[in-house]
Chain A
């Protein structure tokens, strides 16, 4: 028997968060204020996402936690352990088996299905924040749909770099109404946001929850003569050979050697298990050694 209430938070707090989530789903892309609690981890480590996950979890849920696409980094491991201990639920690294997926910086490569919930950790929920510092003003701009300023940022990008250089946290318009910060996911993942699963966004320090319901239209902002481009490294994965996934660049020696690997570790491992091989796959070395 655990000494914690199920999923750490008390029932009244979970109820309060669920109300915010329901409101967020009813008004896609709208930032709903909520009374964020102190969590046993520092701000910036996913306190918002953890609270949203805690409010969503049921005893029969299966949880997966992603940090930059990986299941085995500090943030992912500690959040997974946190819920194993406080909620005693099953955990998994398989995207397909999970019912609740908390993520930081990535959407899984494998398409999500109805019945799954994707929870994002959000550092700064306000897409207009660095352009307009006043919260009263940004709220008014959302209310009145005054989003010209968002394009000023994209204009600046093109003026400075010749193309839209924003590569993560790329602003989107949800269901033709609210402009939303999709959290710092790479813009490669933006087109995936029109999905079958429920997407919930939690910002703990900033005390905001917002949501994208299933099959909602999510459009990345752009200019007519500079259309949105979900770019990725022009390279196949060096471990599984995939050409269509988002890649991490890894420095492997002191001589400028590098490799590109899928940032989604679960997806990459699954492809390797199916026999896909990349340029630097260990099995290639074995085969070469055998030769």
Chain B
């Protein structure tokens, strides 16, 4: 029996003028799987993520997603209302900077409730109960529900962003450096939280990061990118413990062992 992939990326290519953003990237992501994309700055990993999430139109290629009603559909050619609907129901996007993904002028509860209201929830009591439930799941105290994100610490903002994204029960989460800019102890707790949520909800996720510890903890599979190309891919432990490509070897050996 073959399992249907949730997301199937085929030959994505994006150039900025003469320079290559990313090129010839293809992979399948299966339900419940977490894929890590690592590489140095400028290697095209964020470009790739934005192309997949529909924020940037790639020059060529396909991003097929297993929609609930129509099966595998190319999200790049689907109509804009449909794509936007997808991005607030089945998809989620966690930005590196929480303030890119949050409404800073709106309370924590409103931030979490926005996606519910966007898909038609019109009962204040229910929206609020769900918002509080989700704040609790990301370890934000219930009494902070009416505070604005600007009153939160960086780690809390990031956790709030995650709650806001997961409240509609998405099936696929895109994460762009979710732990970037956080200190190590906060990072560790956030990773712990993410790992718990991913396992508990059976989420599929694509995580872009330059932090190998993040992928070691979260990702099942790993893609290593350099200069817009995928230079190595495989199971996370396999790639990290037995790197084959020269760049991967460099990357792995660059990490300080404490």
Interface flag for A41 (CB, 8 Å): no
Report A123-154 residues with CB < 8 Å from chain B CB.
131, 140, 144, 146, 148-149, 151-152
Is there an interface contact between B119 and A148, defined as CB atoms closer than 8 Å? yes
Instruction: Give chain B residues whose Cβ lies under 8 Å from the Cβ of A226.
Output: 124
Report B110-143 residues with CB < 8 Å from chain A CB.
110, 113-115, 117-120, 122-125, 127-128
Of B28-36, B101-109, B151-159, B226-234, the one with at least 4 CB within 8 A of chain A: B101-109
Is there an interface contact between A156 and B124, defined as CB atoms closer than 8 Å? no
Q: Which of the residues A131, A140, A151 comes within 8 Å of B122, measured between beta carbons? A: A151
Interface flag for B59 (CB, 8 Å): no
A146 to B122, CA, bound (A): 14
Interface flag for B192 (CB, 8 Å): no
Interface flag for A160 (CB, 8 Å): yes
Interface flag for A159 (CB, 8 Å): yes
Give the residue name and chain of the B residue nearest to A226 (CB).
B124
Instruction: Give chain B residues whose Cβ lies under 8 Å from the Cβ of A287.
Output: none
Is there an interface contact between A156 and B106, defined as CB atoms closer than 8 Å? yes
Is there an interface contact between A160 and B124, defined as CB atoms closer than 8 Å? no
Is there an interface contact between B107 and A146, defined as CB atoms closer than 8 Å? no
Instruction: Give chain A residues whose Cβ lies under 8 Å from the Cβ of B145.
Output: 159
Interface flag for B84 (CB, 8 Å): yes
Interface flag for B17 (CB, 8 Å): no
Is there an interface contact between B146 and A160, defined as CB atoms closer than 8 Å? yes
A128 to B114, CA, bound (A): 14
Interface flag for A45 (CB, 8 Å): no
Q: Which of the residues A144, A146, A159, A224 comes within 8 Å of B110, measured between beta carbons? A: A159
Report A4-45 residues with CB < 8 Å from chain B CB.
none
Instruction: Give chain B residues whose Cβ lies under 8 Å from the Cβ of A131.
Output: 103, 106
Is there an interface contact between B122 and A144, defined as CB atoms closer than 8 Å? no
A140 to B87, CA, bound (A): 15
Interface flag for A225 (CB, 8 Å): yes
The interface residues of chain A, by DSSP majority, are classed as: helix
Report the interface size for chain B: residues with CB under 8 A from the other chain: 23
Interface flag for B242 (CB, 8 Å): no
Instruction: Give chain B residues whose Cβ lies under 8 Å from the Cβ of A151.
Output: 117, 122
B240 to chain A: closest CB distance in Å?
41
Is there an interface contact between A156 and B114, defined as CB atoms closer than 8 Å? no
B7 to chain A: closest CB distance in Å?
23
Instruction: Give chain A residues whose Cβ lies under 8 Å from the Cβ of B123.
Output: 223-225
Encoded as 1 (CB less than 8 Å from any A CB) or 0, chain B from 77 to 104 comes to: 0001100100000000000000000010
Is there an interface contact between B117 and A156, defined as CB atoms closer than 8 Å? no
Q: Which of the residues A146, A149, A158 comes within 8 Å of B124, measured between beta carbons? A: A158
Is there an interface contact between A144 and B146, defined as CB atoms closer than 8 Å? no
B47 to chain A: closest CB distance in Å?
22
A155 to B127, CA, bound (A): 9
A157 to B125, CA, bound (A): 13
Give the residue name and chain of the A residue nearest to B111 (CB).
A152
Give the residue name and chain of the B residue nearest to A150 (CB).
B117
Instruction: Give chain A residues whose Cβ lies under 8 Å from the Cβ of B128.
Output: 155, 159
Is there an interface contact between B117 and A148, defined as CB atoms closer than 8 Å? yes
Is there an interface contact between A225 and B110, defined as CB atoms closer than 8 Å? no
Is there an interface contact between A159 and B146, defined as CB atoms closer than 8 Å? yes
B146 to chain A: closest CB distance in Å?
5
Is there an interface contact between B118 and A146, defined as CB atoms closer than 8 Å? yes
Is there an interface contact between A159 and B84, defined as CB atoms closer than 8 Å? no
Given A149-B114, A149-B117, A152-B106, 9 extra CB contacts under 8 A: A131-B103, A144-B84, A151-B122, A152-B110, A155-B110, A156-B107, A159-B146, A224-B123, A225-B125
Partner-A contacts on B (CB < 8 A): 80-81, 84, 103, 106-107, 109-110, 113-115, 117-120, 122-125, 127-128, 145-146
User: Nearest 6 CB-CB pairs, A to B?
Assistant: A148-B118, A148-B117, A223-B124, A151-B117, A224-B123, A144-B81
* 7 A-B pairs (CB sep. < 8 Å): A144-B84, A146-B118, A148-B115, A148-B117, A149-B117, A159-B107, A225-B123
